[in-house]
């Protein structure tokens, strides 16, 4: 039995899966371990927005971040069409575009000008008579801006990436997952390169092996809001006066068919252990100001405490401009910074393999003798709801 894959990856979030799928397509014998469930970390908790840099440009950050991320949507769109480096033809879009709801008044108009100047053809103001009806009925006053930016259904993205190579995605027992090298040794598995895409677990593992020289990581806590049933499908940023939206709303379908509004942006920026009530209050305040006629009397609320984990930002901005890749001996420690950046991170990893002349063995080992791992649940499918 072959126990010498070309590459072993630990962590089946978007970073691990995208790279794994790409390696498999290229003929590498890649083996991916997950300690809990596929996608169960930040990836399933994300809003699924494939950023094009528009949001950051609106925030006045026509920066390296806005520029480096702007190349990503095309890669995702190609993958969705079956023409890309990974095959996402079975993945679903949640939305083709989003709206910016910019309130009237001086600051709102300023934001609008910034948007128009910097964003060009992918952004246009929608004439009030062409607004989506629910926006008009919700009493919004200001400018509605169309933004050509995809939102993906993440559970289907995970399936598209994992399913073709499922027998090479296996479970590492939770009790040994903090020491993956010892686990590999116990299984007599030796790989040419070991890649860690375990988000928060990467740094402690690097420390364990004295691989952490020059490595810094940051955690940004969020308490994401959820409400159900969603009044109508909405993918929108409520633009305010600061560089981050007051709220970012995406709509998702729960397993029982209920529509959920998932609330990020300013309303979610709070301690993870803050009460659900705090997100509810912030969201209600935002809705009362932007969509005053919206009737939320019958909705139920929930919240998801979660950390964003990424390389430490060097610049003034709140997150790094690109993914972070840290090298030590035959290990790579990787953070995409954003879901959107998964293709760029995989480029960085493949470049390292090319540089070290680690080429595909074209071997396809059946790893199904190792324990299987299931898919994680979307936050709204495991949420506790409160009135």
Ligand X SMILES: Cc1cc2nc3c(=O)[nH]c(=O)nc-3n(C[C@H](O)[C@H](O)[C@H](O)COP(=O)(O)OP(=O)(O)OC[C@H]3O[C@@H](n4cnc5c(N)ncnc54)[C@H](O)[C@@H]3O)c2cc1C
Residues of this chain that interact with ligand X (CB under 6 A) are 10-16, 33-36, 40-43, 45-49, 51, 172, 177, 180, 197-199, 201, 222, 224, 264, 306, 308, 335-340
Residue with tokens 């691989």: 211
Q: Which residues contact 259 (CB under 8 A, 6 or more apart)?
A: 228, 229, 230, 233, 251, 252, 253
Please state, in angstroms and as integers, the Cα–Cα distance from residue 45 to each residue in 25, 151, 342, 346, following that order: 27, 13, 16, 21
- Which two structure tokens, joined as six digits, stand for 217? 């990581």
Q: Provide the minimum distance between the beta carbon of 376 and ligand X in the complex, in angstroms, as a whole number.
A: 7
Q: Which is nearer to ligand X, 115 or 344 (CB)?
A: 344
Q: Which is nearer to ligand X, 109 or 156 (CB)?
A: 156
Q: Provide the minimum distance between the beta carbon of 234 and ligand X in the complex, in angstroms, as a whole number.
A: 15
Residue number of the CB atom closest to ligand X: 13
The DSSP line for 165-184 is GGGGEEEPPGGGTT-HHHHH
What is the pairing mode between strands 324-328 and 93-95?
unpaired
193 forms beta bridges with 7
Q: Provide the minimum distance between the beta carbon of 305 and ligand X in the complex, in angstroms, as a whole number.
A: 10
Q: How many angstroms from the chain centroid is the CA of residue 121? A: 25
Q: Which is nearer to ligand X, 142 or 246 (CB)?
A: 246
Please state, in angstroms and as integers, the Cα–Cα distance from residue 237 to each residue in 47, 198, 246, following that order: 12, 29, 7
Q: Which is nearer to ligand X, 11 or 245 (CB)?
A: 11
Q: Provide the minimum distance between the beta carbon of 198 and ligand X in the complex, in angstroms, as a whole number.
A: 3
Q: Which is nearer to ligand X, 252 or 308 (CB)?
A: 308
Q: Provide the minimum distance between the beta carbon of 162 and ligand X in the complex, in angstroms, as a whole number.
A: 11
């Amino acid at each position: 039995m072959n126990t010498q894959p070309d590459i072993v990856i630990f962590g089946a979030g978007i970073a691990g899966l995208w790279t794994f799928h790409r390696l498999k397509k290229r003929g590498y014998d890649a083996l991916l371990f997950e300690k809990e469930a596929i996608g169960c970390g930040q990836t399933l908790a994300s809003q699924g927005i494939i950023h094009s840099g528009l949001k950051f440009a609106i925030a006045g950050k026509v920066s390296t971040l806005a520029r480096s991320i702007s190349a990503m949507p095309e890669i995702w769109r190609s993958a969705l069409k079956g023409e890309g480096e990974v095959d996402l033809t079975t993945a679903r879009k949640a939305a083709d575009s989003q709206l910016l709801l910019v309130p009237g008044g001086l600051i709102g108009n300023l934001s609008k000008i910034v948007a128009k100047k910097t964003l060009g053809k992918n952004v246009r103001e929608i004439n009030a008579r062409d607004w989506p009806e629910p926006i008009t009925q919700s009493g919004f006053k200001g400018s509605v801006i169309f933004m050509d930016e995809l939102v993906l259904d993440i559970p289907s993205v995970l399936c598209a990436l994992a399913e073709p190579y499922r027998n090479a995605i296996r479970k590492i027992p939770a009790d040994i997952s903090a020491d993956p090298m010892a686990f590999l040794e116990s299984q007599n598995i030796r790989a040419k390169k070991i890649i860690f895409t375990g988000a928060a677990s990467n740094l402690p593992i690097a420390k364990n092996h004295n691989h952490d020289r020059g490595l810094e990581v940051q955690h940004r806590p969020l308490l994401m809001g959820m409400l159900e049933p969603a009044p109508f499908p909405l993918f929108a940023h409520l633009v305010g006066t600061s560089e981050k939206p007051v709220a970012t709303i995406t709509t998702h379908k729960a397993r029982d068919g209920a529509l959920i509004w998932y609330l990020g942006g300013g309303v979610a920026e709070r301690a993870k252990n803050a009460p659900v009530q705090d997100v509810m209050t912030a969201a209600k305040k935002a809705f009362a100001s932007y969509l005053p006629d919206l009737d939320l009397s019958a909705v139920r609320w929930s919240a998801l405490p979660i950390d964003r984990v990424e390389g430490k930002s060097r610049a003034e901005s709140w997150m790094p401009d690109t993914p972070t890749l840290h090298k030590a001996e035959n290990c790579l420690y990787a953070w995409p910074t954003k879901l959107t950046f998964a293709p760029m991170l995989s480029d960085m990893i493949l470049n390292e393999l090319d540089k070290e002349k680690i080429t595909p063995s074209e071997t396809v080992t059946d790893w199904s003798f190792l324990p299987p791992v299931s898919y994680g649940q979307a936050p709204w499918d495991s949420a506790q709801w409160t009135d």
